[in-house]
Amino acid sequence: YFIYEGYQGMVDGGENIVEVTWESVSSILQVGGTVIGSARCKAFRTREGRLKAACNLVKCGITNLCVIGGDGSLTGANLFREEWNGLLEELARNGEIEEEAVKSYAYLNIVGMVGSIDNDFCGTDMTIGTDSALHRIIEVVDAIMTTAQSHQRTFVLEVMGRHCGYLALVSALACGADYVFIPEYPPEEGWEDHMCGRLSENRARKKRLNIIIVSEGAIDSFNKPITSEQVKDLVVNRLGFDTRVTILGHVQRGGTPSAFDRILASRMGVEAVLALLEATPETPGCVVTLSGNLAVRLPLMECVQMTQDVQKAMDERRFKDAVELRGRSFTNNLNTYKLLSNKKPEGELPKSNFTVAVLNVGAPAAGMNAAVRSAVRLGITEGHKMLAVTDGFEGFSRGQIKEIKWGDVGGWTGQGGSILGTKRTLPGKYLEKIAEHMRAHCINALLVIGGFEAYLGLLELSTAREKYEAFCIPMVMVPATVSNNVPGSDFSIGADTALNTITDVSFFLLPSAYVAH
């Protein structure tokens, strides 16, 4: 059954509850939003409203409910489940249903799936809709960058996230933003000086644009709001930079779903139905979440309580607790952003006397440049000397090796292909020359970013260790290939972008397919 217009449709019943077939859900994968509608419902918050909803479900013989929504919708579903038997008994006393129906439909099983672009539900790495919203944000950032570079401007982007800063944080990480404001991790006192100092340093390094991302719920350490207009005025008054504000608003909710969201929602939908089929009267309400790359079932109300605890922690200014409650994915993204956006003064950097070489191998894949940027900046932060090798193993054999600095990789995150250059050539016939250049540059570690050729290349180098001592060093490979065919990894860098390109092309072909029939 479809229940149209959310809980309101359940309360109203009638044509809002419709039996559906296989064909009813054909050709809706690429449609944004929800084809069955969604609505806030005051009536469902009352027992009288829930009585009507229960009566309408019993009339259709429905005792299994899959609810897609946020923590408020899922809390309401759990309360409905707890009250179910009492509601049916009251309906029978009122003569609205038969006594036999109370026994036949004695239990209501519920399973939740979280649909929220804010990714504000604890217990899951990603909620349905978040990835698509991030795509909208990055599309806008990429468009703005052209204007900002041309006019040497600063842009302040306000994104959604009244109580959760995930969209702001991850979009800042994805576009290499200069500064980000989120409610879970407010800036320390005196942030105005710190932000202006960082913007000035970046502009002094010939960076022609500055991007600042502000979550709509951003606050300072005293729980006072930080607005995009406030940030803009600060930059203009303190630095005199030409600054513009862009508020994305409901653009983030629109458009077709990304490939990741289509796959995530499909997998979660299957897991939700399996959970309902396996449920017993004693089974507590559960929510289907994403952990790593697996769809898992977690106790519904435990996740709801954790989500509510985040807001409580922020209200009480326990911001460290708020970040930890958001979960592993949020914490890792925050730590990564801090590492990659904040360059330490030269005098504060440790000296490791360790040299790391980075190269790309195989066919180009979107995200290769972002991986190089991350490796270079983290290596410099740890005090290592970072070397860039151009044109893969072939370039390595010709000595195309140079030191690469923090500022050299600025603006690399959004650029496709491989700025370092990449080739499919394996190192087998160049082993002698590669070993020679590794000794000459005192290379202590090797990072290879690429596809299956990179995997095979490292195998060849490790096999040659008995003959060449220069290869007896740590060697690490980061999978980057649209084919996603590197052993040992669920995802390769570039595969998601390729999938999105395929789904975009499929979407444009659909009208032609319908016409041609």
Q: Are 88 and 133 a contacting pair, CB within 8 Å?
A: no
User: CA 418 to CA 283: how far, in whole Å?
Assistant: 51
Residue 268 carries which side chain, given as an amino acid letter?
M
Give the residue from 295, 156, 257 showing the smallest Cα distance to 216: 156
Alpha carbon 449 to its chain's center:
22
User: CA 215 to CA 514: how far, in whole Å?
Assistant: 41
> How big, in percent rounded to 5, are the helix, strand and coil portions of the chain?
50, 15, 35
The residue whose two tokens read 């409905």 is: 80
Q: Are 356 and 478 a contacting pair, CB within 8 Å?
A: no
User: CA 433 to CA 73: how far, in whole Å?
Assistant: 64
The separation between the first and the last C-alpha atoms of the chain, rounded to the nearest angstrom, is 28
Question: Mind telling me the catalytic residues?
Answer: 118
Transcribe 450-483 into DSSP letters: ESHHHHHHHHHHHHGGGT-GGG-S-EEEEEB-TT
